[in-house]
Chain A
Amino acid sequence: MESLIRAWRTAHAEENGKLLASTISLTNTDLEEFAYSTNSARVAEDIFRTLEYENNSARPKIANKTGLEAWAEVYVAYWKVAQALERHDEVEWGQVFVGMKDLTQAVIRGFQNGLWEVWQLEIMYTACKYLRYVAIRADEVKRSNGEDTWKSLEDAARIINRAFNVCLNDRAELAQSRKWGTYYIINILFKTYFKLNAITLSKNILKALVANTTEMPDLLDFRTSDVVTFKYYCGVIAFLDEDYVKAEEHLDMAYKLCHKDAQKNKELILTYLIPTKLLTRRQLPSAILLKPYPLLESLFLPLAQCIKSGDLRGYDENLARGEDWFVKKRIFLTLERGRDITLRNLFRKVYLCAGDSKTRIPVDHFKAAVSWKSGVDVETEEVECFLANMIYKGYVKGYISREKGMVVLSGSNAFPGTGV
């Protein structure tokens, strides 16, 4: 226990947030020693005394009585966590979670009561981070016993949400404001909500943020890592909302700010940025872009090639091949719309091959092309349906004359945005 509390003192002397945070970390190497250093009947007393001892030998003193009590609460809860992790043959994640909840709440209270300063925010980050991790483990244990629940994680989300409010609503002057912790906490919240499949809750967070935006420091003044994660989630939220223009904006920024070596993060961003650009700009990813990401390369590249060449059958096959992953990432329903572009490219080729009478092309020509490229004989009505959709969606300029069985195309710019 002593070395832990001593680290607590050192951290205060140096104003070292990371060191302070490590004293409540679950990967702390003194965790086991700490777990065995006292028992449940004595823990409160022991911890308070050790804190008091270290506090008395610190020059100047770190905390008054109230301050010490707040820290004692934190470490008593931390001891419960340590005990549940270390003192059983099998870790009971349910108990660890209960302890972790107490710990996080104690930390939040400390900030709420104005006892701690902005450099100490790291401790809140660490508490929230592990709270989420432990909650997932606790739920997984229950789920492996057949219980379909995310109760602990939901619980954790509520607590982290309080941490968010503690940061957001701080009125202290900017240099000393807890507002600097806002985005880190938001990112943990987003992660949690996404895991819970409660994406609407993420939107509530964004709304609260917008309401406070005038007093917030500029986004780019925050740590870049926080900004990238935040922009990524904003992008995904907009993406799921089918607001692709906004999604592109957020994801583009995340991609540009992302550290060049953070392969995993860039891959995550591209997972959503590629389908987004497909819809907003009808842009396809190049082979060079995809090269560093084998998974994305194997799924997106063939798809992109099929779209480019108007290969309907290849498109369907490649979409089906990646379906499981696409669905899991929630991009399947968006990628599906790429079929329109495939079709447009095919029809464009028909148009280019039409020779002199480019403005009047028989429906049968399109029918032949679709039948050939999709590998099945399609009915004339279905091809007309495709054509009607193309015209309706603005991919093609012209009209169908059913009486004559002809498609009449615009003399100029029949396929907008493609140069013909």
Chain B
Amino acid sequence: MTTPPWRAAGGTAVQRRSLTGSEPHPFIEQRLTSPGPSFHPVSVRKTLGKSNNNSYTVRHPNHRRPYPPVNTRDSHYHRKQTSQPPAPARRTQFPDALKAYVARTFEDCPSENKAEVEVSLKKIITDAFENETVWTIDWATHPLPAAARRQSTATSDKMDISSGDEASPVSYTPAKNNFNSLSKGNKRKLGSRIASDKNEFDRGVTRPDKRSRKINASDYSYEGPDAFKRLDKRYKRHQTKNVFSHYNAMHNALDSPAFAPIVGRATNLEKRYLRLTSAPDPDTVRPLHVLEKTLELLKSKWKAENNYSYICDQFKSLRQDLTVQHIKNDFTINVYEIHARIALEKADLGEYNQCQSQLANLYSEKIPGGHPHEFKAYRILYLLHTCNRTDMNDILASLTPAEKEDRAILHALAVRSAVAGGNFHRFFKLYLDAPNMGGYLMDSFIDRERLAALTTICKSYRPDIPFRHITEELGFENDAECEAFLVKNNAGNFIKTKESAKGDGNNKIVLETAKALPTIEAARAVAFKKVDIKGQI
């Protein structure tokens, strides 16, 4: 067994040895230590097949005789399953053939034996790994675990009986109807099958759904549009509970210590962020209790120094340590939320969005704590910023009644409908009244919306519009800010002082709408063309 470098020392390795080094079952031991594991003589499967063959011959007398065995085909299919490049160094990888083997083990295994089978299966796999034979054993022909095998022999006997009666008159009747010319061979066999009528009846009682289907459905009929409906009806009984039991059993069996997340051993509070290019080293990863202190330190540092590049870097390494240790709890949520808010404050939408998508996952996993409503509201505003109609529709579809009552979400929804309807009056009122940090997010598209509103105004007002009215309608804090905005968009020249008609010195500052329109319209087009950092949902 090769030990990966990051496991060279420390508690986890010891723990693993104690797990894998246990005494194997004597029976399995005997089988696994036999040399030349790739060419195991397969006795067990053969008896199974033989008993099957016997009944098979009875059912289809004309079948086996005329043909020589076509072994080449058989081996062809086996080769497909087993050929896998040996890669002995990687413990966590399982050959596909082994996966098929595990699946086969549970194929006919009754539930009462599952636990036992699981234990023996675990041992077989562990041993194979220990002996480094996992890539060399021919899993396709490897004997099944004892418990599963004993059972499968029993069930296969039962199966022969039932498959015999499966070919009984009832199931053949429709075939006869549709293929008269072809079913001569069948008729000969009918007599022997009628004998199993009683059996047939018994089965009819236990599995009524299948029987009735057989009688009603006409054979090889063209499938009408209701084909799926029929299929649904047929398999309805399977929908509940146990569907995944086999998979769960398989997963348990494959559960090896190598899958466990690492636990860090570092004790320094601060760490620079470095993108991981190899497996994480526990010596440089901080465990949860250290990370908790780190967060406190970072919070106080942020308040004191307000150094964003430092804080962002530290938060990224903090998040990385959480990820490699698979820590997903209220603390994780807290970290992401704080980082998201800091990023918002600094208008770092890229970083904010990374946190946002992680948070969405954490919330959906029903991890307690956090402020899912607050961040859902941010998400709506963010989608307005990216003009992502598709995702907006999705998020609208996902809102629960409780969420629709939340103040922040209501606000975000109101903003959305104001933008959609071009209701800039309402929009800028909402901008000035945004809860939490929604205002920071709206900052990211406020200028764009201002240009849109201004275009509408320039188009519809004649001959001019009071400068003050623009300041108020477009949510500027004062005239100076509004003027700076107009100048920035090359519309400064269109601000004019209009003398009062009465000549009483009551002069007004106005914007000449008709003249400003082309400039503003061009600026608006540019603002809407700029596509945001795509790819970051």
B223 contacts A27, CB within 8 Å?
Answer: yes
B179 contacts A6, CB within 8 Å?
Answer: yes
Band of interface residues on B: 35 or more
B473 contacts A91, CB within 8 Å?
Answer: no
On whether A93 and B243 interact (CB within 8 A), knowing A45-B73, A327-B396, A388-B457, the answer reads yes
Query: Nearest Cβ in chain B — how far from A75, in angstroms?
Result: 12
Report the Cα distance A37→B228, complex, angstroms. 25
B74 contacts A339, CB within 8 Å?
Answer: no
Q: Which residue of B lies closest to A19 (CB)?
A: B220
Query: Nearest Cβ in chain A — how far from B28, in angstroms?
Result: 22
On whether A49 and B70 interact (CB within 8 A), knowing A36-B166, A392-B455, A402-B461, the answer reads yes
Question: B74's contact among A7, A45, A240, A333, by CB below 8 Å, is which?
Answer: A45
B243 contacts A90, CB within 8 Å?
Answer: yes
Question: B217's contact among A27, A381, A401, by CB below 8 Å, is which?
Answer: A27
What are 23 residue pairs bridging A and B, where the CB atoms are less than 8 Å apart in the complex?
A29-B217, A30-B175, A36-B163, A37-B163, A41-B45, A44-B74, A50-B63, A89-B242, A90-B238, A148-B364, A197-B394, A333-B420, A339-B421, A381-B472, A381-B473, A384-B425, A385-B423, A385-B473, A388-B456, A388-B461, A400-B461, A400-B462, A402-B461
Q: In the assembled complex, which residues on chain B have CB atoms less than 8 Å from the CB atom of A240?
A: 390
A22 contacts B221, CB within 8 Å?
Answer: yes
A30 contacts B231, CB within 8 Å?
Answer: no
B196 within 8 A of A: no
Give the contact stretch, choosing among B85-93, B244-252, B310-318: B244-252
Query: Nearest Cβ in chain A — how far from B76, in angstroms?
Result: 7
B496 within 8 A of A: no
B40 within 8 A of A: no
Q: In the assembled complex, which residues on chain A have CB atoms less than 8 Å from the CB atom of B242?
A: 89-90
Q: In the assembled complex, which residues on chain B have CB atoms less than 8 Å from the CB atom of A25?
A: 223, 227
Contact flags A140-184 to B (C-beta < 8 A → 1, else 0): 010011001000000000000000000000000000000000000
Q: Which residue of B lies closest to A240 (CB)?
A: B390
Q: In the assembled complex, which residues on chain A have CB atoms less than 8 Å from the CB atom of B48?
A: 39, 41
User: Majority SS of interface residues in chain A?
Assistant: helix
A3 contacts B67, CB within 8 Å?
Answer: no
Query: Nearest Cβ in chain B — how far from A376, in angstroms?
Result: 12
Q: In the assembled complex, which residues on chain B have CB atoms less than 8 Å from the CB atom of A328?
A: 397
Report the Cα distance A313→B502, complex, angstroms. 44
A90 contacts B245, CB within 8 Å?
Answer: yes
Q: In the assembled complex, which residues on chain A have CB atoms less than 8 Å from the CB atom of B397?
A: 324, 327-328
A-B interface, 6 closest residue pairs, ranked by CB to CB distance from nearest: A36-B163, A391-B460, A388-B460, A399-B462, A385-B425, A91-B238
Which of chain A's residues 41-91 have a Cβ closer than 8 Å to chain B? 41-42, 44-45, 48-50, 52-53, 69, 72, 76, 85, 87, 89-91
Q: Which residue of B lies closest to A386 (CB)?
A: B423
A33 contacts B389, CB within 8 Å?
Answer: no
Contact flags B208-232 to A (C-beta < 8 A → 1, else 0): 0010011001111111000110110
Q: In the assembled complex, which residues on chain A have CB atoms less than 8 Å from the CB atom of B223?
A: 21-22, 25, 27, 126
Q: In the assembled complex, which residues on chain A have CB atoms less than 8 Å from the CB atom of B172?
A: 3
> Which A residues have a C-beta under 8 Å from some C-beta of B?
2-3, 6-7, 9-10, 18-19, 21-23, 25-30, 32-33, 36-42, 44-45, 48-50, 52-53, 69, 72, 76, 85, 87, 89-95, 126, 133, 137, 141, 144-145, 148, 197, 199, 240, 242, 323-324, 327-328, 330, 332-333, 336-337, 339-340, 379, 381-382, 384-389, 391-393, 399-402, 408
On whether A333 and B389 interact (CB within 8 A), knowing A2-B185, A50-B63, the answer reads yes
On whether A53 and B171 interact (CB within 8 A), knowing A18-B222, A33-B166, the answer reads no
Query: Nearest Cβ in chain B — how far from A402, in angstroms?
Result: 6
Query: Nearest Cβ in chain B — how far from A316, in angstroms?
Result: 10
- The CB with the most chain A CB atoms within 10 A, among B69, B166, B213, is that of B166
B417 contacts A330, CB within 8 Å?
Answer: no
Q: In the assembled complex, which residues on chain B have CB atoms less than 8 Å from the CB atom of A339?
A: 421
Query: Nearest Cβ in chain A — how far from B501, in angstroms?
Result: 10
Report the Cα distance A6→B181, complex, angstroms. 10
Question: A33's contact among B167, B228, B245, B424, by CB below 8 Å, is which?
Answer: B167
Q: Which residue of A lies closest to B397 (CB)?
A: A327
Query: Nearest Cβ in chain B — how far from A347, in angstroms?
Result: 13
Report the Cα distance A145→B465, complex, angstroms. 61
Can you name 15 extra interface pairs (CB under 8 A) apart from A3-B179, A379-B425, A388-B459? A6-B182, A6-B183, A19-B220, A32-B166, A33-B167, A44-B73, A45-B74, A48-B73, A324-B397, A327-B397, A336-B421, A392-B456, A400-B462, A402-B461, A402-B469
Query: Nearest Cβ in chain A — how far from B98, in angstroms?
Result: 16
Q: In the assembled complex, which residues on chain A have CB atoms less than 8 Å from the CB atom of B77?
A: 44, 76
Question: A382's contact among B103, B182, B394, B423, by CB below 8 Å, is which?
Answer: B423
> Which B residues have a C-beta under 8 Å from some C-beta of A?
45, 48-49, 52-53, 56, 60, 63, 66-67, 69-71, 73-74, 76-77, 103-104, 107, 156, 159, 162-163, 166-167, 171-172, 174-175, 179, 182-183, 185-186, 210, 213-214, 217-223, 227-228, 230-231, 234-235, 238, 241-247, 364, 389-390, 392-394, 396-397, 417, 420-426, 455-457, 459-463, 465-466, 469, 472-473
Question: A141's contact among B183, B219, B244, by CB below 8 Å, is which?
Answer: B244
Q: In the assembled complex, which residues on chain B have CB atoms less than 8 Å from the CB atom of A28?
A: 220
Question: A41's contact among B49, B56, B238, by CB below 8 Å, is which?
Answer: B49
Q: In the assembled complex, which residues on chain A have CB atoms less than 8 Å from the CB atom of B71?
A: 45
Q: Which residue of B lies closest to A34 (CB)?
A: B166
Query: Nearest Cβ in chain B — how far from A337, in angstroms?
Result: 8
Q: Which residue of A lies closest to B59 (CB)?
A: A37
Report the Cα distance A228→B216, complex, angstroms. 32
B67 contacts A52, CB within 8 Å?
Answer: yes
Q: In the assembled complex, which residues on chain A have CB atoms less than 8 Å from the CB atom of B396?
A: 323, 327, 332
Report the Cα distance A408→B165, complex, angstroms. 89
Report the Cα distance A21→B220, complex, angstroms. 9
On whether A3 and B175 interact (CB within 8 A), knowing A42-B52, A400-B460, the answer reads yes
Report the Cα distance A340→B417, complex, angstroms. 13
Report the Cα distance A392→B71, complex, angstroms. 80
Q: In the assembled complex, which residues on chain A have CB atoms less than 8 Å from the CB atom of B179?
A: 3, 6-7, 10
Q: In the assembled complex, which residues on chain A have CB atoms less than 8 Å from the CB atom of B67?
A: 49, 52-53
Query: Nearest Cβ in chain A — how far from B509, in angstroms?
Result: 13
A382 contacts B171, CB within 8 Å?
Answer: no
A382 contacts B221, CB within 8 Å?
Answer: no
Query: Nearest Cβ in chain B — how far from A206, in angstroms?
Result: 17
Question: A392's contact among B103, B163, B460, by CB below 8 Å, is which?
Answer: B460
Query: Nearest Cβ in chain A — how far from B368, in angstroms?
Result: 16
On whether A145 and B456 interact (CB within 8 A), knowing A85-B235, A336-B421, A379-B425, the answer reads no
On whether A22 and B220 interact (CB within 8 A), knowing A49-B63, A382-B425, the answer reads yes
Report the Cα distance A45→B389, complex, angstroms. 55
Q: In the assembled complex, which residues on chain B have CB atoms less than 8 Å from the CB atom of A399?
A: 460-462
Query: Nearest Cβ in chain A — how far from B388, in angstroms?
Result: 11
Question: A29's contact among B156, B213, B231, by CB below 8 Å, is which?
Answer: B213
Q: In the assembled complex, which residues on chain B have CB atoms less than 8 Å from the CB atom of A7?
A: 179, 220
Report the Cα distance A189→B478, complex, angstroms. 56
Q: In the assembled complex, which residues on chain B have CB atoms less than 8 Å from the CB atom of A324?
A: 397
Q: In the assembled complex, which residues on chain A have CB atoms less than 8 Å from the CB atom of B56?
A: 38
Query: Nearest Cβ in chain A — how far from B360, in angstroms?
Result: 11
Q: In the assembled complex, which residues on chain B have CB atoms less than 8 Å from the CB atom of A95?
A: 103
Question: B243's contact among A3, A69, A92, A402, by CB below 8 Å, is which?
Answer: A92
Query: Nearest Cβ in chain A — how far from B506, in angstroms?
Result: 12
Q: Which residue of A lies closest to B222 (CB)?
A: A18
A42 contacts B392, CB within 8 Å?
Answer: no
B457 contacts A29, CB within 8 Å?
Answer: no
